[in-house]
Amino acid sequence: MKHIAILGFGVVGSGIARVLEQNAAEIARAVGEEVGIRYILDLREFPDSPYGDRVVHEIAPILDDPAVSLVCEAMGGSHPSLEYSLACMEAGKSVVSSNKEVVANYGDLLLRKAREHGVSYLFEASVGGGIPLIRPFFTSLACDRVTEVTGIVNGTTNYILTKMKNEGRAFDDVLAEAQRLGYAERDPSADLDGIDAKRKIIILTALASGILPEDGDVYAGSIRNVTIRDIEAAEAAGGALRLIARTCITDDGRVAACVAPMIVKNGNPLAHVEGVYNAISLTSPVTGDILYYGRGAGSLPTAGAVLSDVTAILSGAARAECVPVFAKKPGSAIPFEAQSFPFYIRVSGSASEAKEALEAVTDTVIPLGDGAFETGVMTVAEAQQAVPGAVILPILR
């Protein structure tokens, strides 16, 4: 019997317990022996849970128990998740995390600590919920070089944008419904303002390049100002408006990462991702483009991803996998203003003046009517300077 501890008994933590029970046979076969929960760390008591007798309120008993070889961190937030995870690894325990915030902020420290102490730190559940997206970077894609990652990584905003489009309803109206249904939180800022998506693209950037961008170096656009008119404009331009997280690794090792509402053309599979689903595409020279699609959140899928890491560690497979080192590298981030895209642009003033100003920067400026244009590639700064105050949306082909 292998013994694990779970830090945080919320949506993900309780899902881990449920999947451990529900799929006990599959897990035992994959690991080679049974896996049991020895401790659950939480501030609350759970007198009605079958695990109630295993609840502790401090990390010390877990650190001190040599029978616990692995700890699942499902607390969320940076602190004390960081300190607890580091302490577990110092005590010789591997850590599996579903916590995108701590991985995005401190992934470099955490992976270094794992290496120093000969344990594993894995985080499949931190991006894309149940979609098995992160392990391939250590395994299937380990002999390739991922140069671009583009995806829809936040289900809440995608749900809102899809509803606005399909039902012609306003942002506030759909947001209220999403909150009622539990798809959006009471304070929805982290989703709406691209903060959740930014953490995920930071992690994906680090997986692709080894460089862990600083939070302040990655632009995060919001969907709060998206109107029905923008959604209709996207449709008229042969696409769909989506909150896109994207990172490109340049040949000289710099990274251009961002989160922004973009118009995704219908030829791109991301245009057809609806509702709370996530989809992430990876580009690499050998494999070409591949895309993963699935539920990016939810108790069971996320817990399943945690348990796939647990299995990899307890079976011994993770030890032989090529887990990268993350490093912060000041000066490696290309700011959003200097990133290049084709654009959808809509001006409220003179269309002919706007066309002229845009043509000074790019070869292609196609009028779409009503003061709107589709342009060739230029930087965000060039577009903003050419048509100040205009609606400016990157286009993804």
Please say which residue, 146 or 345, places its beta carbon nearer to a copy of itself: 146
β-pairing, 55-56 with 35-41? parallel
CB 263 within 8 A of CB 241: yes
Q: What does the binding site for a copy of itself look like in residue numbers (CB under 8 A)?
A: 19, 22-23, 26-27, 29-30, 124, 130-132, 135-136, 139-145, 267, 269, 272-274, 281, 285-295, 298, 300-301, 303-305, 307-308, 310-312, 315-317, 319-322
Q: Name, in order, each residue with C-beta under 8 angstroms of 376's C-beta and a sequence gap of 6 or more.
A: 342, 362, 363, 364, 365
Is 265 marked active-site?
no
Residue with tokens 């000041």: 330
Query: What are the CA-CA distances from residue 332 to residues 104, 109, 149, 249 (Å)?
Result: 16, 18, 17, 10
Please say which residue, 76 or 136, places its beta carbon nearer to a copy of itself: 136
Could you check whether the bond before residue 342 is cis, i.e. omega within 30 degrees of 0? Answer: no
CB of 351 to a copy of itself, least distance (A): 33
Rounded CA separation 361/377 (Å): 9
CB of 266 to a copy of itself, least distance (A): 8
Please say which residue, 195 or 291, places its beta carbon nearer to a copy of itself: 291
Please say which residue, 129 or 221, places its beta carbon nearer to a copy of itself: 129
Catalytic annotation, pick one of 198, 200, 265, 355 = 200
Query: What are the CA-CA distances from residue 277 to residues 189, 233, 308 (Å)?
Result: 19, 23, 20
CB of 132 to a copy of itself, least distance (A): 3
Torsion of CA 148, 328, 314, 139, to 10 degrees: 30
| Active-site residue list | 200
